[in-house]
A and B are shown apart, each in its own frame.
Chain A
């Protein structure tokens, strides 16, 4: 250590003392080391005599510093027989015994020589297993997560300030809490200062100041806002806001036991940038309304598979489970789930805790019936006139099926009598109003007459306005009109058919193909590019490479713009009354703004300045009658109202809904969107045993879960993070649900305050009915969403009072400071501070005070020193001699709590430590800690690291092969091993369950992933579920393990094998040697298994792989997603001890029955390393292997093993 800065060197006296002490320690350690190295003068001497000549003769030629064949060198080995060389020694012994080394063809030692060598190694191993490990105390720094937990508990501060810290390094055993890998660096030390300063700034307030509190509520429901904003609100591309009258924003002043300033949201804004569609518009505009500051917003809700994703009803907003988002741009999109409801808000506090309160209920819902459900045939209540609302009488209370019948669509007869009336032109053959061919456009003959042929690019057929200047028949103005054409697209993509308007969606109208899915669309734009209505068909109505007739009939102002394909009505919606005419615009065939031209042909393009009737459209079809096919029909979107309840969904057949009805009169109404009309509604009581009734009863029992999310709006969606866990909404009565968090821990837009973009810096509070696996679920009713923040229960807040505690002599500042310092240091250092330490902190305080800083600032300075001192940052076990010493009680309390809670000891443990009784009450203290909620931190950390779940976390599965491995599903599957272990520990079950269990611990998502027949209705909560599936149970076949050990495409027996060897049976394979030869290229046609076999059969690979692959081959029945492969697979394997097994089940049986000691040892070994935060020596491992056997009598129970480790000398000695 060279210290450039003399003032930082340890004081000269203590340095000398240290030197002396250090020297003594060195000598003692050295002597002990000598003793440990086996009073083994004998070994060293015999090494020279027996081993060295043997090596020189047989091994060194290949295994030396120049040529370390297979990564092995023997020239470094000596009679010290160091721990780190033991794996090599063991390998040498095996090879010498079995005669596999030296390899065939090389000169061989005699049998006697082999025996002598092996016996020497046996003896040395025996010596090594007995030699005590030198104990010189242990100094570990807190891991990042321990540091985070400790800060939070010490300061009562929920903000996570550690996000920017570099992650801890991982030890060879997979743990991040190993003392040797927990390095310190200037970067980290600097960060400790920054974080401590920030944390103290946030914890300590000025008690005399008044906090500012923001509190507002958004109420939801049809027409709930008596004075809605008249302007239409827009929040960017794909903006789907609730209707202005359907939400109401109110700001409050909450009741608090202290004085505060209520925060009032800004309503006046001035923006220069905004959006229209996907285009930026610039120009200063001024706004003044709370509704430009708070929006009730939906996004990403298109394409919900069953029912509407959301509906606003009088009681509030109804939400279906929020299906995780679609893939966008080849990955999980950012538009959020469907339905993604959120309150978008310009201003929220930047710091502090917040509380979101939801008033919600489970909706008394009906079950939308799946495709294929037959209509009910028996008599029931019938409403004959679906067009008007009315009332029916329900005979008796019960579950009913509602069947809705459509009216048949009849096509009229062709009527060509008036087809010349109101005709502005007919192209391309119109000679009176001739057009011109642009770019490579040309005229061709077609079955429906002369056609324009276009090849995309800039091609078009343009009819200039001057062509018919006299009566300007193209000017549709504010009136009705029709446009019709025969079209033969070469490919489906966004392209115009006929348009009359400027470029870039300026004033005019456009009949076009909307996308690559065959959607016909009619778009209009009024003056100043205000959208005036869009009418879209369902996809699939336009087909490529065939002729079809398209027509748009526009009756302005009515809900009557109709689109026809081949004479069939495919869409119906309103077009506004704006004036569409742009005298400068020409009529264009095959072109649409912002898109390439049509690739294909167009004929008989007609423009009428009056609406055509359906008979006339039939007449226009005649020239191409042979091409006419019925266009696919969109399912009608139906909203059925029964009493006060609404049920919306697509009508795919008459059978629509199963619903519970009361006896008596029932108001009934149905509305629908879509081109066709409805006929009648039939309500039939269902027999109790009927399939639909049973499904309804199961449906009715389920309860939605409300989840709150907080984050920010993005133009391309949202970044939202969950606020706590979702809560079950079981009651049909409105109930309060409270969600709390620290606002700093959520994504924030980080936008400068004076940003002039309308969409910049918008925060979002998402509210969802959480999705698990897509099962039918009663809808979640949200009545209101209330926000309060910063949320204080008292002032000054708890974090402040925690540090600046009450004191009866507050005027005696030095005494007060001493009191604060003493109590803080004791908690921060997890033991009473020494007098020197306290004096040091007081000196900091005093110096700050002397330099002119105030009392609180000076206290803050002193606390900052405590928070950056090694006493806080390091876990120290002091040692006086190299001999083992027992931990002192405070050291033990920290060791225990960082083991079982990954955080600091609580008051209870510290009290036991102070009383000196912790050691005596160790077992009961372990039990208490295991029962505490903080124990889940141990489960998370230990399970994740032991089982290498990071591999699953970063897995990028092939989405085509494993579509079910969505991000959300992976999140739940990753939790499965943790929850499984938690269940085993909490119930103190035998270790055998790690290998084989007749239950899974799963939630709805996980159970669905495994296709369990008995799926729980537990939401995200993991519960134990018995199973009878041969391939399930235990850890080894969990998807997070098997998929994590794949590349996301193919299963990988080598990775799986190495994992089992390392993690489950504690026979870790040697590290792969450097320069592993690549697999040969000429193996293209082989399966992975064959390629691996080929690899294994190469010299130099065989030895190691023979100990790895057989374990993994047993899992070959499982694919890279961790589920059974559809076809039977050969998973027979011969294990290293020559046991023949068949598949994972065989392996599990073998492990559970023949090798359970080894499994228990592996668990104990990992647990002990994690608990002690260090690597174990060879002798400790040998001891553990032997001593751990005493747990066998009771079946190696999980909690017993934890208790065993906490009582072991590896844990208790330093």
Chain B
């Protein structure tokens, strides 16, 4: 196929840090792709739950769940205090659970956080089920360069019941996570020419094959006579849609990135160094990726269950007394306080992220207002799979109404939250995983 505009991406990349060319993005993409205001999703997971101190220790102020006032109002606890400036942009959700959680080994809660799958007895051949972020990616990928971004504290997937990623593809297979800020940056913001060319070629070949299939379909159509054509029409429409997506993906390759300021990044950090510095840079990368509309769905696993991986030692690095997993098991006052202090540390990182998202602008407002951020854990504390700590921020432009601590009457399926998020993003699915409906009368107003 002929292309009217040939864009030299490399020439553009040379402009980083200097004067980047302003290129006619809209013209190149066509309004159907770029005219849309992005709707984004970011899931941030912390393992082993949050500190919910026992009543006898007199540490209520340190409970992760806020103290509830009247009418959904609430007071931040000491461990979530850093999030107070975002009160109007976030909400706490209580009483959530995955019905399959209590049935399974409590260590699979990170596996099923975004899938709700029954992991106590996976089907033959199956590993998990599709994750929320990937279902979203399915619907957003044609609008951006990368279907999704999957990050974790440890690279790779980990393994079933001790997962190192919270993202599962549509087949339920784990998607290996990335953990190196430099590699993520290089891949997202400095793609190399050879891989671009290969990607071009692959997409072009696929487009040609789709054309050939259309040709084949026409051959069949010619034979159909008076046959009812409803299904054929549907087939052609689907094929057309598939081709449009391929063309859109292919065009992205040549579109220059939005000009951004990268000066605050420190790409030399690793997870072996200072935890705060590491998290800050990872969050900065996510924020930049959102701002440049490189992807619309991101998962980031901050730490891993059951003493796995490097993050287990972070509390020690921060001067706390025990490893992350051991703190989560603490039943004594000091241990529970220390666990809460780690929650405080995490709250600071989340606050930094929200601040970044507020600092970037979409055409209709702040990036955070077009992004649903879900932060939480698959266990309330010490592997208890009920009352999952859940915080949802952003998404004001998608009808989310914040500033409350919402608790369901009785228990509420986490998958109903997932479905509510999908609907808020404009993805009209009937259900998600084991959902029974959306969260009515909650923070999701536009369902």
Interface residues of A (CB under 8 A from B): 1, 3-5, 7-8, 10-11, 14, 17-18, 21-22, 24-25, 28, 136-141, 160, 163-164, 179, 182-190, 193, 273, 279-280, 328-334, 457-458, 596, 712, 714-717, 719, 721-722, 744-752, 754-755, 757, 759-761, 834, 836-837, 840-841, 843-844, 847, 851, 861, 864-866, 868-871, 873-874, 876-882, 967
Beta-carbon nearest neighbor of B329 in chain A:
A594
Q: How far is the CA of A183 from the CA of B124 in the complex (A)?
A: 27
Residues from chain B with a CB closer than 8 A to the CB of A329 are 102-106, 120
By beta carbon, the residue of chain B nearest A742 is: B125
CB-defined A-B contacts under 8 Å, sample of 27: A14-B222, A137-B225, A137-B226, A184-B234, A193-B242, A273-B308, A331-B104, A332-B120, A334-B120, A334-B121, A716-B105, A747-B127, A750-B160, A750-B173, A751-B158, A755-B158, A755-B159, A757-B308, A840-B219, A841-B216, A843-B215, A869-B220, A870-B216, A874-B232, A876-B220, A876-B224, A880-B225
Docked CA distance A375–B325 (Å): 55
Which of A10, A332, A759 lies at the interface centre, i.e. has the most chain B CB atoms within 10 A of its CB? A10
Which residues in window 366-406 of B have CB below 8 A to A?
Answer: none
A836-B214 contact, Cβ under 8 Å, with A164-B170, A329-B104, A333-B120: no
B268 at the interface (CB under 8 A from A): no
CA A759 to CA B325, docked complex, whole Å = 18
For the complex, give the distance between the alpha carbons of A554 and B58 in Å. 44
Chain B nearest CB: distance from A453 CB in Å? 18
**Given A844-B212, A870-B220 in contact, is the A21-B225 Cβ separation under 8 Å?**
yes
Please indicate the chain A residues that have their CB under 8 angstroms from the CB of B238 in the complex.
184-186, 188-189
User: Which segment of B203-211, B255-263, B279-287, B291-299 sits at the interface?
Assistant: B203-211
- The reply on B21 being an interface residue by CB < 8 A is no
Interchain CA distance A798-B216 in the complex, whole Å: 28
Closest CB of chain B to A761's CB: distance in Å? 6
Question: Any chain A CB within 8 A of the CB of B199?
Answer: no
> Which residues 179-211 of B sit at the A interface, judged by CB distance below 8 A?
205-206, 208-211
- Docked Cα-Cα span, A163 to B172, in Å, equals 9
**Which residues of chain B are near A871, meaning CB under 8 Å?**
216, 220
A815 to B148, CA, bound (A): 45
Name the one of A5, A190, A876 contacting B240, with C-beta atoms under 8 angstroms: A5
| Beta-carbon nearest neighbor of B101 in chain A | A329
Q: How far is the CA of A753 from the CA of B238 in the complex (A)?
A: 37
**Are the C-beta atoms of B216 and A878 separated by less than 8 Å?**
no
Query: Would A745 and B219 count as touching, CB distance under 8 A?
Result: no
- CB-CB contacts below 8 Å: B260-282 with A: none
The reply to whether A721 and B214 form a contact with Cβ atoms under 8 Å apart is no
Report Cα–Cα, A280/B162, bound state, in Å: 11
- Known A280-B308, A869-B220, A876-B224; judge A8-B239 contact (CB<8 A): yes
CB contacts between A and B, total, < 8 Å: 255
Chain B residues near A752 (CB, 8 Å)? 155-157, 176
Q: Which 6 A-B pairs have the closest CB atoms?
A: A331-B103, A721-B124, A716-B105, A137-B227, A752-B156, A164-B171
The reply to whether B215 and A747 contact each other, CB–CB distance below 8 Å, is: no
Asked if B411 CB lies within 8 Å of chain A CBs, one says: no
B14 to chain A, nearest CB (A): 30
Q: Does B3 contact A (CB under 8 A)?
A: no
Cα A873 to Cα B214 in complex, Å, equals 13
CB pair B225 A189 closer than 8 Å = no
Q: How far is the CB of B188 from chain A (nearest CB, A)?
A: 20
Q: For residue A745, which residue of chain B has the nearest CB?
A: B125
A163 touches B214 (CB 8 A): no
Known contacts: A163-B171, A847-B208. The answer to whether A750 contacts B232 by CB under 8 A is no
CB closest chain-B residue, reference A836: B219
Q: Closest A-chain residue to B233, C-beta based? A: A1
**Cβ contact within 8 Å between A1 and B120:** no
Cα distance A1031–B247 when bound, in Å? 64
Chain A residue with the shortest CB-CB distance to B175: A750
- Distance in angstroms from B298 CB to nearest chain A CB is 20
Given contacts A163-B126, A714-B105, A843-B215, 7 further A-B contacts (CB under 8 A): A3-B236, A8-B243, A137-B225, A164-B130, A188-B238, A330-B102, A869-B217
The digit string for B50-66, where 1 denotes a CB below 8 A from any CB of A, is: 00000000000000000
A865's contact among B212, B222, B244, B332, by CB below 8 Å, is which?
A: B212
Q: Please tell me which one of the listed residues B218, B225, B231 contacts residue A874 in the complex, with CB atoms under 8 A apart.
A: B231
Cβ contact within 8 Å between B226 and A330: no
Residues of B within 8 A of A717 (CB): 105
Question: In the bound complex, what is the Cα–Cα distance between A183 and B205 (angstroms)?
Answer: 27
Across the interface, do B159 and A761 meet the contact criterion of CB distance under 8 Å?
A: yes
CB <8 Å contact, A8 and B332: no
With A751-B156, A840-B219, A865-B213 already in contact, the answer to whether A878 and B224 are too (CB < 8 A) is: yes
Chain B residues, CB < 8 A from A714: 105, 159-161
Could you say which residues of chain A place their CB within 8 Å of the CB of B307? 279-280
Bound together, the chains give a CA A17 to CA B222 distance in angstroms of: 9
Beta-carbon contact of B226 and A837 below 8 Å: no
Contact flag A11-B231 (CB < 8 Å), given A334-B105, A712-B160, A834-B223: no
Asked if A719 contacts B122 (CB within 8 A), the reply is yes
Once the chains bind, are A187 and B227 in contact (CB under 8 Å)? no
CA distance in complex: A967, B120 (Å): 12
- Cβ–Cβ contact A1 & B236, under 8 A: yes
B-side contacts of A877, CB under 8 Å: 227
Across-interface contacts of A187 in B (CB, < 8 A): 138
Task: Give the CA-CA distance A139 to B161 in the complex, in Å.
Answer: 45
B227 and A876: CB pair below 8 A? Answer: yes
Give complex CA distance A193, B393 in Å: 37
Within 8 Å CB of B214, what residues of A? 7-8
B176 proximity list for chain A (CB < 8 A): 752
Return chain B residues, CB-CB under 8 Å to A870: 216-217, 220, 232, 235
Q: Which residues of A contact B224 (CB under 8 A)?
A: 137, 876, 878-879
Task: Judge whether B250 is part of the interface by a CB distance below 8 angstroms.
Answer: no
Determine if B221 is an interface residue (Cβ-Cβ < 8 Å): yes
Query: Which residue on B lies nearest to A594, using beta carbons?
Result: B329
When chains A and B are docked, how far (Å) is the Cα of A1115 from the Cα of B242?
A: 52
Pick the contact of B231: A140, A330, A864 (CB < 8 A): A140
Determine whether the beta carbon of A10 is less than 8 Å from that of B156. no
Tell me the smallest distance from the CB of B398 to a CB of chain A, in Å.
Answer: 22
Known contacts A4-B244, A755-B159, A861-B209; decide if A744 and B221 are in contact (CB<8 Å).
Answer: no
A840 in contact with B212 given A3-B236, A751-B157 (CB within 8 Å): yes
Do B236 and A879 have beta carbons less than 8 Å apart? no
Task: Give the nearest-CB partner of A721 in chain B.
Answer: B124
What is the CA–CA distance of A759 and B238 in the complex, to the nearest angstrom?
Answer: 45
Complex alpha-carbon distance, A754 and B164, angstroms: 13
| A1-B237 in contact given A139-B228, A330-B103, A331-B102 (Cβ < 8 Å) | yes
Check A4 against B240 for contact (C-beta < 8 Å). Answer: yes
Among B232, B239, B243, which residue has the most Cβ atoms of chain A within 10 A?
B239
B98 at the interface (CB under 8 A from A): no
User: Contacting B332 at CB < 8 Å: which of A14, A163, A457, A836?
Assistant: A457
Given the interface pairs A333-B120, A716-B161, A879-B228, the reply to whether A328 lies near B242 with Cβ below 8 Å is no
Chain A residues, CB < 8 A from B157: 750-752
B174, CB-defined interface residue at 8 Å: yes
Are A596 and B331 in contact (CB-based, < 8 A)?
Answer: yes
Q: Which of A457, A868, A874, A878 contacts B223 (CB 8 A)?
A: A878
Kindly state whether residue B254 has any CB partner on chain A within 8 Å: no
Bound complex: CA A761 to CA B159 (Å): 7
A715–B212 contact, CB under 8 A? no
In the complex, what's the smallest C-beta–C-beta distance from A832 to chain B, in angstroms? Answer: 12
- With A10-B236, A193-B206, A880-B225 given, is the CB distance from A869 to B213 under 8 Å? yes
Report the minimum CB–CB distance from B2 to chain A (whole Å). Answer: 12
Which residue of chain B has the shortest Cβ distance to A11 in the bound complex?
B218
Q: How far is the CB of B386 from chain A (nearest CB, A)?
A: 11
What A residues does B237 contact at CB under 8 A? 1, 3
Residue of A nearest to B237 (CB): A1
Closest to B100 in A: A331
* Inter-chain contact A141/B103, CB cutoff 8 Å: no
Interface flag for B133 (CB, 8 Å): no
**B127 CB, min distance to chain A CBs, angstroms:** 6
